[in-house]
Amino acid sequence: MKWGILSAGRIARRFAGALTASATEQVVAIAARDGERATAFAADFGIPRAYSNYTALLADPEVEAVYLALPNSLHAEWSIAALQAGKHVLCEKPMATTLADGLAMVAAAQANRRLLMEGFMYRFHPQTITVQRLLADGVIGEVQQVRGSFGFLLDDTTNIRLNADLGGGALYDIGCYPLSYARMVFGSQPRTASAFVNGAPIDFSLSGLLRFDGDRHATITCSFRSAWNQRVEIIGDAGWIHLERPFNPTSEQATSIAVARGGRHVTVETITIPPADHFQLEAEGFARLAAAGEPIPAIGAMPLTESLDNLAAMEALFTSAHTATHSVIRASAFVPEWPVGTLTTS
């Protein structure tokens, strides 16, 4: 598939670099509001065309799919514009900053019969797929709790992550990872949310409690004020699974999954996962789905139903944090009404 990239930022560079190793995916255009920056980006990665505005890239007839890595506040606007231009869209997380915007994006994808997916690259990593299969096989029994955390020290006061107008904040930037992981593990939308937040006008750190059906729970923490950390623990009634780097493992190093079986007296084994570039796997997997017009699977990809559920949960977490009450999560997925994943290319 031939890709265009909207943004010349750090994550866009990571995506472009991953595609240089792909036998099937090619970046043919880059757009940034700073034309010189776009030109330099194109030179670094051997990209044929550089544009100084996003609209020009969307008008490029060779571009089949757009990787959108703009600031969070621009995700909905430019995803919809790209879909209306007939492009498939892989939009970086979070897909939007409100559930209403997320639903509008899904509507645009359906109206224009193009594939839209939220760019949670970890969903394509063999580590994640292995965890999903272990859960499906009932290796740890019925999951009762999920605990997830992601944090690092952000001491650059000019960083875009601290800009409220551009959709900054810890939950949008990194908290969405443990939130989405919990949603993936339980396989359903959480029902209520409680949260504590530190910081204004953006959240520097947030701790949340999510209740799922069957009185099962997930706790998530995210922070720009902590030492670097990321972790997921999945606790069942017959064992547990621990991951030390669940969200962005490096492409050069193997990862490992600790799996305990046995309830009271557990036996622990370590499953080693060979190195993999999940950005490359994400682009290649997205392209296969777009070409085949197949439903987006829960294992090995990121379904839109889950993206909308996560947006609803984030809204509920913010509501709880700002009102000091439990918040009922909006039903994001009247989604069975959407023929999610049935999009075909024309």
Residues that are catalytic:
93
**How buried is residue 290: exposed, middle or buried, by Cβ count under 10 Å (0-12/13-18/19+)?**
buried
Residue type, 323: T
Q: Pairing mode, if any, of strands 205-212 and 192-198?
A: antiparallel
Residue with tokens 């995700």: 75
CA atoms within 13 A on the CB side of 96: 25
**CA-to-CA separations, 115 to 23, 60, 268, 312, 331, in angstroms, rounded:** 21, 18, 41, 21, 23
- Residue 183: its H or E element: helix 176-186
Q: Is the peptide bond before 94 cis (omega within 30 degrees of 0)?
A: yes
User: Residues in the chain, how many?
Assistant: 346
Question: Following CA atoms 41, 278, 118, 156 in sequence, which dihedral angle do they give, to the nearest 10 degrees?
Answer: -60
What does the angle CA 274 – CA 279 – CA 280 come to, to the nearest 5 degrees?
A: 80
What does the angle CA 92 – CA 82 – CA 308 come to, to the nearest 5 degrees?
A: 45
**Are residues 185 and 234 in contact, defined by beta-carbon separation less than 8 angstroms?**
yes
Give the C-alpha separation, 320 to 38, whole Å. Answer: 41
